[in-house]
């Protein structure tokens, strides 16, 4: 007998051989289970949750119990039964034994008893204000603890059962003391002085429950309405799972699977009968059959969010990670698949990583060579491991862990296999990880694009979706966009647009098209496949995530002149302008870009204007999101340029000019740049320039002059050049110290900056003082070089500026020397 | 056994017991010889008795339940002589260690069918499960829990609803849920002990 079993004398053990070195099966399990069911499970878990309090996770973390008694009983009924039973058998506490029997009898019930129990419960529920769950009297929601423990009005609810509970709890605390861990002692103190002490207890260990309380009652009540056949059936089986040897446990586990475990009622019943703890404890035994049986149930019920959290809280993930090393293939698969279900939230994913789960899962991918001879069992292992990795890969650190464990080549290897049920989780993992640059590099260099493109033509829509989604994320990289084209992926992508009824697929596909369309060669291909026309049809009646991508793709496509006409001819302008009234910032940014692109064509501009598109764009400048502001300002540029009577149109927007001038106070570089560009266009109209001058455009522009950002420099210089055309603005720019910084722009590397700067300097040089500053800043030599430029405009502006400076010098000389 | 005789046995067993290679059969025969030597000479070196068998399985696979071991002995001892011959030994182990699901189902069914009438009756189930409950709710009849458990098992496995399990019932249930193979008590070695047994016995192969 192992020591553990010896410490639990009352437990009957299958007869051991007298000279045996191994204990009977029951004994071995019991020995391990005894201490596990006892207290320590929950305590570190709740503490852990608390320490991590900074991560705001709105999902419920811990269980809620009404008070410490129900908490204890709910958490480990096994413990109560087991320990209480021992007390009994050792005949040290006969009094408690009796109480225990009474309570336990009521709880696990024959038919009549259960009926009685049910009535009692219903009454009890009526008494409770809102919160009673689908519980035997063994487990009750914890959430109202504070009030029921303290307030007199609620306290009375508890009386009907208080007696039995207290008797039982004493048994618990006594046996707990026997096990003598520090934690159990603290519990005993709580027991002794329920009430105020319990509040402090709550403060210590359940701090996270506050946020949970809000959503809790609704869910629980849902369950309680169905407290019926399933609940009692499961409770009956739970009795054998808890109180039987491995054989009885196994029969009960197998029968439990006959319940519809995908139903929430059954899932919660398993939790509320305290069966969940036992299922997890079973995982920590050496009984492969019981482990398997337990995991088969856990795999099903972990679809439920509450159960997932409970499993994580009970330390189930750690054990399942350990099971990944088991020699039994089925068991490994089940563990991996259950991990896949549980690791749907951040804390669980972290637990898996911290306990070496990622490495083990990756090893499972490696353990099977993908030769011709692998069997169904092996593919199942890979499938389950990939599923688990997929769930885990939603955390950034796990992505890194997968890479470090050597997962990328294995993902690449399995990406070449032919089984859709393996490919789906593999591609799912890849597309999840493709947010990391290192994975994108690997996807490119390990030749994964070819496989992804190939599977775009799979018959499984889910697989197609993940492939498209992977391309969507990867195609941020130019080289990948080229690879998609080289492997002829653009055509299947276009073809998939026809599957417009599957919105998730459509979102992924349009996303991939959008990103691929950033490359010009790809746009030309899309023209060939008539993709633009199809995209236009998707501008209406689509969910937002599709619209964002569709309009994004159109925005890229209309950088190509031919497509602007295509969009107009297929009636795309009107729905696009309509979308300017949307609220989603991501969508608005893309709409702005697309409308701006279309506005480059005068014919399109006429339509946009007739639909009042410019006003809509202009009002988006008021949007709080800087990306929306910037994209709207950019889109306004071609509009103002191409609209007829644009000056008058702009003036007709009440307060519009003040609005755009004030955006020069923004902190966002892109907003500033785009607004400068817009102002440059607006200033071409003298009247508008006058209004802007009144609103103080000159000092605001001057203030921006000290920047190193070449893009901003260019558009700023353009704006300054155009704003010089009114009144004493040239002088004003000089006074507000814009000239010296501008002069330095000539040293920038960007020729576009040179051109804009030369134009601005040319305008500014009309004022003698500015000429002096320019001369002092050594512009003449730089401008002289630019006179030799091939860019006519730059050449002319540079020459004009030099001429002005020269003229001033001559005039000065003349004045000096007569 | 003479050297030549042993070779003949090995050859014929290699042909009949398809789960083992020749060298593995040799190892098992060698183990058999050791066991026979250990046993009393009651069977004149032709085999060994129940006690040796039980001890061997106990040591090799950690099987402890005497009742189950007796049943295992009976399934090994096909001719019911109370003596395990070399053929019975090798063929029996073939099922235990390498048996297909089919073979294992037949084997387990035979173990559980205590009276050999082709059915696992409620009484037989009760017999096998009577010690399986570690906690008896004290206010119930002592056997109430076990009877309940038998009903649960029957509900799960008795497809034709005749109140007993035929092999067809059993087969159907096991195919549906492999875990039910050992529904009424462990009678097969678990994967770890069978792996270590194979390692221990077959590694000593003189190659």
Look-up of token digits 């009926």: A115
Q: What are phi and psi of A607, to 5 degrees?
A: -65, -45
Give the residue from B11, B13, B90 showing the smallest Cα distance to B47. Answer: B90
| Whole-number pLDDT of residue A227 | 64
In angstroms, the separation between the Cα of residue B81 and the nearest Cα of chain A is 25
Q: Contact B137/A15, CB-based, under 8 Å?
A: no
Q: Which pair of structure tokens corresponds to residue A564?
A: 């602007």
Least confident interval from A47-56, A744-753, A756-765, B140-149: A47-56
Q: Choosing among B64, B148, B170, which should be mutated to test the A contact, i.e. which has the most A CBs within 10 A? A: B64
Interface check A110 vs B, CB under 8 A: yes
| Whole-number pLDDT of residue A660 | 94
Q: What is the pLDDT of residues A114-146, one digit of tens each?
A: 444 444 444 444 444 444 434 434 443 344 343
Residues whose CB falls within 8 Å of the CB of residue A685, separated by 6 or more in sequence, listed in order:
A646, A647, A650
Q: What are phi and psi of B133, to 5 degrees?
A: -95, 120
Question: Which of B64, B153, B191 is opposite residue A14, by nearest beta carbon?
Answer: B64
HSE-CB at B11 with a 13 A cutoff on CA atoms is 6
**3-state SS string for B11-35:** HHHHHHCCCCCHHHHHHHHHHHHHH
CA torsion through residues A168, A170, A173, A176, sign: negative
Q: How far apart are CA A13 and CA A27, in angstroms?
A: 5
**Count of beta carbons in the 10 Å neighbourhood of residue A102:** 15
Cβ atoms A563, A517 nearer than 8 A: no
Cβ atoms A96, A175 nearer than 8 A: no
**Count of beta carbons in the 10 Å neighbourhood of residue A374:** 15
Which residues on chain B are in Cβ contact (under 8 Å) with A245? Answer: 131-134
Look-up of token digits 């009438």: B117
Q: Choosing among A11, A13, A107, A248, which should be mutated to test the B contact, i.e. which has the most B CBs within 10 A? A: A248
**Any bridge partners for residue B120, and if so which?**
B165
DSSP A45-68: HHHHHHHTTTS---S--S--BSSH
Q: Contact A24/B153, CB-based, under 8 Å?
A: no
| Whole-number pLDDT of residue A145 | 40
Q: How far apart are CA B187 and CA B65, in angstroms?
A: 9
Q: Reduce the DSSP state of residue B85 to 3 states and report it.
A: strand
The residue of chain B with its CA nearest to that of A291 is B179
| Whole-number pLDDT of residue B3 | 67
**Which H or E element spans position B120?**
strand B119-120
Q: Which pair of structure tokens corresponds to residue A586?
A: 């991501």
Q: Contact A247/B185, CB-based, under 8 Å?
A: yes
Look-up of token digits 């099987």: B63
Q: Which pair of structure tokens corresponds to residue B15?
A: 């042909």
In angstroms, the separation between the Cα of residue B179 and the nearest Cα of chain A is 6
pLDDT tier at A633, thresholds 50, 70, 90: very high
Interface check A104 vs B, CB under 8 A: yes
Give the residue from A245, A323, A30 showing the smallest Cα distance to B191. Answer: A323
Q: How far apart are CA A326 and CA A342, in angstroms?
A: 19
Cβ atoms A254, B156 nearer than 8 A: yes
User: Which of A:198-237 have CB within 8 Å of B?
Assistant: 236-237
Q: What is the pLDDT of residues B8-25, one digit of tens each?
A: 878 888 877 678 888 888
| Whole-number pLDDT of residue A41 | 33
Q: Which pair of structure tokens corresponds to residue A505?
A: 């697929």
Q: How far apart are CA A657 and CA A694, in angstroms?
A: 10
**Count of beta carbons in the 10 Å neighbourhood of residue A397:** 13
| Whole-number pLDDT of residue B26 | 86
Question: Which of A17, A250, A327 is opposite residue B191, by nearest beta carbon?
Answer: A327
Q: What is the pLDDT of residues B57-100, one digit of tens each?
A: 888 888 888 888 888 998 888 888 888 888 888 888 888 888 89
Which residues on chain A are in Cβ contact (under 8 Å) with B190? Answer: 288
Residue A88 pLDDT greater than 50, yes or no: no
Interchain CB contacts (distance < 8 Å): A and B: 111
Cβ atoms A510, A549 nearer than 8 A: yes
Question: Which of B55, B128, B177 is opposite residue A254, by nearest beta carbon?
Answer: B177
Q: How far apart are CA A4 and CA A29, in angstroms?
A: 9
Least confident interval from A484-498, A701-715, B58-72: B58-72
Q: Contact B183/A288, CB-based, under 8 Å?
A: no
Q: Contact B152/A246, CB-based, under 8 Å?
A: no
Q: Contact A22/B64, CB-based, under 8 Å?
A: yes
Residue A17 DSSP label: P
Interface check A752 vs B, CB under 8 A: no
Q: What is the pLDDT of residues A513-529, one digit of tens each?
A: 999 999 999 999 999 99
Question: Which of A16, A245, A288 is opposite residue B190, by nearest beta carbon?
Answer: A288
Q: How far apart are CA A469 and CA A475, in angstroms?
A: 10
Q: Reduce the DSSP state of residue B206 to 3 states and report it.
A: coil
Residues whose CB falls within 8 Å of the CB of residue A293, separated by 6 or more in sequence, listed in order:
A249, A250, A253, A254, A282, B179
| Whole-number pLDDT of residue A141 | 39
In angstroms, the separation between the Cα of residue B92 and the nearest Cα of chain A is 22
Residue A12 pLDDT greater than 60, yes or no: no
Interface check A255 vs B, CB under 8 A: yes
Q: Contact B137/A81, CB-based, under 8 Å?
A: no
Q: Contact B64/A254, CB-based, under 8 Å?
A: no
Mean pLDDT, residues A350-354 taken together: 94
Which residues on chain B are in Cβ contact (under 8 Å) with A258? Answer: 156
Q: Contact B134/A25, CB-based, under 8 Å?
A: no
Cβ atoms A176, A168 nearer than 8 A: no
pLDDT tier at A171, thresholds 50, 70, 90: very low
Q: Give Cα A576 to chain centroid, integer Å.
A: 29
Q: Which pair of structure tokens corresponds to residue A123?
A: 């009454």
Q: What is the pLDDT of residues A383-417, one digit of tens each?
A: 999 999 999 999 999 999 999 999 999 999 999 88
**Count of beta carbons in the 10 Å neighbourhood of residue B200:** 12
Question: Which of A26, A236, A250 is opposite residue B179, by nearest beta carbon?
Answer: A250
| Whole-number pLDDT of residue A591 | 94
Q: Choosing among A29, A104, A250, which should be mutated to test the B contact, i.e. which has the most B CBs within 10 A? A: A250
Q: Give Cα B84 to chain centroid, integer Å.
A: 13
Q: Contact B186/A240, CB-based, under 8 Å?
A: no
Burial A575-604 (b: 16+ CB within 10 A, else e): bbbebbebebbbbbbbbbbbbbbbbbbeeb
Q: Contact B191/A328, CB-based, under 8 Å?
A: yes
In angstroms, the separation between the Cα of residue A108 and the nearest Cα of chain B is 8
User: Comparing A69 with A378, which gets the higher pLDDT?
Assistant: A378
Q: Give Cα A588 to chain centroid, integer Å.
A: 21
Residues counted in chain B: 207
Residue A79 pLDDT greater than 90, yes or no: no
| Whole-number pLDDT of residue A133 | 39
In angstroms, the separation between the Cα of residue B138 and the nearest Cα of chain A is 7
Q: Choosing among B135, B143, B180, B194, which should be mutated to test the A contact, i.e. which has the most A CBs within 10 A? A: B135
Residue A110 pLDDT greater than 70, yes or no: no
Q: How far apart are CA A717 and CA A407, in angstroms?
A: 51
> Percent of chain A scored above 90 by pLDDT?
52
Q: What are phi and psi of A301, to 5 degrees?
A: -75, -15
Q: How far apart are CA A735 and CA A699, in angstroms?
A: 9
Question: Which of B58, B66, B156 is opposite residue A255, by nearest beta carbon?
Answer: B156
């Amino acid at each position: 007998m192992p020591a553990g079993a010896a410490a639990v004398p009352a437990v009957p053990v299958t007869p051991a051989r007298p000279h045996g070195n191994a204990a009977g099966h029951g004994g071995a399990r019991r020995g391990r289970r005894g201490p596990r069911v006892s207290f320590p499970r929950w305590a570190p878990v709740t503490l852990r949750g608390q320490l991590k309090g900074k991560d705001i996770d709105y999902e419920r973390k811990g269980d809620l119990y009404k008070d410490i008694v129900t908490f204890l009983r709910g958490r480990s009924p096994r413990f109560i039964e087991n320990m209480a039973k021992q007390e009994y058998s050792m005949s040290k506490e006969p009094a408690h034994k009796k109480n225990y029997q009474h309570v336990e009898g009521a709880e696990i019930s024959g038919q009549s008893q259960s009926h009685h129990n049910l009535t009692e419960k219903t009454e009890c529920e009526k008494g409770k204000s809102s919160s009673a769950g689908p519980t035997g009297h063994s487990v009750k929601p914890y959430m109202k603890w504070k009030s029921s423990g303290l307030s007199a009005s609620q306290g009375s609810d508890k009386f009907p059962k208080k007696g039995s509970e207290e008797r039982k709890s004493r048994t618990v605390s006594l046996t707990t003391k026997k096990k003598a861990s520090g934690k159990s002692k603290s519990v005993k103190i709580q027991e002794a002085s329920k009430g105020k002490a319990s509040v402090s207890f709550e403060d210590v260990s359940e701090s996270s429950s506050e946020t949970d309380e809000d959503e809790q009652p609704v869910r629980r009540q849902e369950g309680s309405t169905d407290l019926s056949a399933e609940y009692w059936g499961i409770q009956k089986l739970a009795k054998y799972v808890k109180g039987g040897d491995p054989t009885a446990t196994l029969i009960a586990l197998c029968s439990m699977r006959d319940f519809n475990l995908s139903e929430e009622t059954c899932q919660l019943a398993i939790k509320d009968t305290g069966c969940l703890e036992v299922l997890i404890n079973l995982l920590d035994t050496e009984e492969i059959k019981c482990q398997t049986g337990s995991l088969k149930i856990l795999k099903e019920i972990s679809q439920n969010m509450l159960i997932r959290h409970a499993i994580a809280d009970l330390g189930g993930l750690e054990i399942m990670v350990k099971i990944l090393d088991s020699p039994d293939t089925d068991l490994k698969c089940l563990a991996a698949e259950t991990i896949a279900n549980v690791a749907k939230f951040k804390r669980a994913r972290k637990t898996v990583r911290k306990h070496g789960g990622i490495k083990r899962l990756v090893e499972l991918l490696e353990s099977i060579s993908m030769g011709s001879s692998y069997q169904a069992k092996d593919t199942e292992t890979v499938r389950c491991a990939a599923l688990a990795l997929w769930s885990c890969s939603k955390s950034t650190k796990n992505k890194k862990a997968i890479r470090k464990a050597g997962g990328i080549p294995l993902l690449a290897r399995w990406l070449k296999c032919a089984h859709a049920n393996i490919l789906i989780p593999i591609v799912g993992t890849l597309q999840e990880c493709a947010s990391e640059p290192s994975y994108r590099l690997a996807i490119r260099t390990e030749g994964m694009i070819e496989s992804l493109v190939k599977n775009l033509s799979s018959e499984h829509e889910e697989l197609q979706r993940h492939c498209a989604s992977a391309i969507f994320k990867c195609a941020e990289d130019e080289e990948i966009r080229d690879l998609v084209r080289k492997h002829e992926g653009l055509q299947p992508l276009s073809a998939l647009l026809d599957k417009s009824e599957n919105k998730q697929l459509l979102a992924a596909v349009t996303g991939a098209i959008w990103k691929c369309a950033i490359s010009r060669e790809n746009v030309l291909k899309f023209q060939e496949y008539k993709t633009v026309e199809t995209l236009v049809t998707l501008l209406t009646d689509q969910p937002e995530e599709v619209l964002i991508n569709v309009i994004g793709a159109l925005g890229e496509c209309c950088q190509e002149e031919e497509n602007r006409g295509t969009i107009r001819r297929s009636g795309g302008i009107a729905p696009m302008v309509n979308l300017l009234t949307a609220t989603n910032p991501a969508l608005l940014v893309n709409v702005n870009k697309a409308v701006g692109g279309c506005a480059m064509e005068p014919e399109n501009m006429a339509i946009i204007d007739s639909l009042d598109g410019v006003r809509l764009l202009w009002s988006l400048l008021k949007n709080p999101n800087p990306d929306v502001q910037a994209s709207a300002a950019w889109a306004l540029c071609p509009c103002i340029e191409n609209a007829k009577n644009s000056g008058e149109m702009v003036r007709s927007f009440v307060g519009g000019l003040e609005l755009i001038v004030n955006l020069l106070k923004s902190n966002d570089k892109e907003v500033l740049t785009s607004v400068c560009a817009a102002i440059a266009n607006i200033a071409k109209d003298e009247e508008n320039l006058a209004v802007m001058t009144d609103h103080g455009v000159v000092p605001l522009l001057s203030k921006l002059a000290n920047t190193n950002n070449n893009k901003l420099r260019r558009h700023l210089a353009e704006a300054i050049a155009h704003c010089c055309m009114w009144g004493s603005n040239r002088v004003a720019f000089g006074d507000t110290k814009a000239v010296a910084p501008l002069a330095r722009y000539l040293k920038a590397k960007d020729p576009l900056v040179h051109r804009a700067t030369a134009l601005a300097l040319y305008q500014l040089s009309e004022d003698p003082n500015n000429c002096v500053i320019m001369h002092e800043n050594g512009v003449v030599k730089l401008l002289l070089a630019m006179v030799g430029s091939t860019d006519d405009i730059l050449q002319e502006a540079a020459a004009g500026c030099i001429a002005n400076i020269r003229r001033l010098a001559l005039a000065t000389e003349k004045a000096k020397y007569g | 056994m003479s050297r030549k005789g042993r070779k003949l046995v090995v050859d014929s067993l290699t042909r009949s017991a398809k789960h083992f290679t020749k060298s593995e059969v040799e190892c098992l025969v060698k183990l058999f010889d050791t066991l026979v030597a250990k046993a009393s000479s009651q069977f004149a070196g032709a085999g060994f008795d129940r006690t040796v068998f039980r001890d061997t399985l106990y040591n090799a696979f950690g099987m402890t339940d005497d009742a189950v071991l007796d049943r295992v002995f009976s399934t090994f001892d096909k001719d019911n002589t109370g003596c395990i011959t070399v053929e019975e030994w090798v063929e029996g182990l073939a099922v235990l260690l390498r048996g297909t699901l089919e073979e294992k189902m037949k084997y387990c069914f035979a173990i559980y069918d205590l009276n050999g009438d082709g059915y696992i009756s409620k009484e037989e189930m009760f017999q096998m499960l009577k010690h399986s409950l570690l906690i008896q709710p004290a206010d119930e009849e002592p056997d109430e829990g076990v009877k309940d458990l038998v009903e649960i098992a029957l509900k799960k496995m008795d497809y034709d609803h005749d109140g007993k399990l035929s092999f067809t019932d059993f087969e159907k249930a096991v195919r549906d849920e492999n875990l039910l193979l050992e529904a009424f008590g462990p009678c097969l070695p678990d994967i770890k002990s069978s792996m270590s047994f194979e390692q221990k016995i077959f590694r000593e192969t003189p190659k």
